């Protein structure tokens, strides 16, 4: 992926770190975005850290337009921003929690996609990969707001595919099971982590989907459940 420009949102998270490294190893120039990311987070001149908040349409648009103006294009979007809330039934879920799940898991993706797609259309090509969740297709009790927001993200990505099939723009969404990240280990002490999904496995899949080899995969909803089948 030499000379490719990749935007990774949530680039310094448990998964984002692995995705950023995988894309850098593939030869891409990576713009890593999060609220607290630092240039020192990753080595090398092919990494650019941008501290940004994607919670509003204007902020996402300003970020993407700035990247496109600086580099002349945007070839890859790996959208990893998201959050989790659970433990309450639908009847018990308050408005703030439900809205927070929509903001983190759906609205941020919508804002970034709306900003990125016109640049990819002008270039005639692009790769979009988003991170959903197994809960999007297999919801469980106590995670209704989270599951609904991730299911809506799947629908959003599939709509992007249909609206851009006239060009060489692909969009896919990955549905991991529980991932072996520091945050999940802290949240679930004592869990059997041997069945959790390794972030490196998902990162390798994202790098492949973003590459020339992955050009024929489009509109896929890819389960990555590890040993937790």
Per-residue pLDDT reduced to its tens digit, 107-126: 999 999 999 999 999 999 99
Task: Judge whether 229 lies within some domain.
Answer: no
Instruction: Give the pLDDT of residue 198.
Output: 94
Task: Judge whether 97 lies within some domain.
Answer: yes
Instruction: Give the pLDDT of residue 190.
Output: 86
User: Model pTM?
Assistant: 0.95
Domain that holds residue 46: 5-224
Task: Judge whether 50 lies within some domain.
Answer: yes
Tens of pLDDT along 180-205?
Answer: 998 889 988 888 898 899 999 999 99
> Hey, what's the torsion of the CAs at 29, 202, 88, 96, to 10 degrees?
10
Task: Judge whether 46 lies within some domain.
Answer: yes
Residue ranges of the chain with per-residue pLDDT less than 70: 228-229
Tokens of 174: 């990955």
Burial class (CB in 10 A: 0-12, 13-18, 19+), 224: middle
Domain total of the chain: 1
Write the CATH number for 81.
Answer: 3.40.50.720
């Amino acid at each position: 992926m030499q000379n490719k420009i990749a935007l990774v949102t949530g680039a310094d998270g448990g998964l984002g770190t692995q995705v950023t490294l995988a894309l850098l190893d593939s030869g891409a120039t990576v713009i890593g975005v999060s609220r607290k990311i630092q240039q020192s987070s990753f080595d090398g001149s092919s990494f650019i850290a941008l501290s940004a908040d994607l919670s509003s349409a204007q902020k996402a648009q300003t970020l993407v337009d700035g990247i496109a103006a600086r580099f002349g294009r945007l070839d890859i979007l790996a959208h990893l921003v998201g959050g989790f809330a659970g433990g309450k039934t639908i009847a018990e879920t308050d408005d703030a929690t439900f809205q927070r799940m929509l903001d983190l898991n759906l609205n941020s993706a919508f804002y970034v996609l709306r900003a990125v797609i016109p640049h990819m259309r002008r270039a005639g090509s692009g790769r979009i990969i988003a991170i959903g969740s197994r809960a999007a297709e297999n919801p469980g009790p106590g995670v209704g707001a989270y599951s609904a927001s991730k299911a809506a993200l799947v629908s959003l990505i599939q709509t992007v595919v249909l609206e851009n099939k006239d060009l060489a723009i692909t969009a896919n969404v990955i549905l991991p099971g529980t991932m072996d990240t520091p945050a999940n280990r802290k949240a679930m002490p004592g869990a059997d982590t041997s069945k959790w999904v390794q972030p490196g496995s998902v990162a390798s899949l994202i790098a492949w989907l973003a590459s020339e080899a992955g050009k024929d995969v489009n509109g896929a909803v890819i389960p990555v459940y590890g040993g937790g089948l």
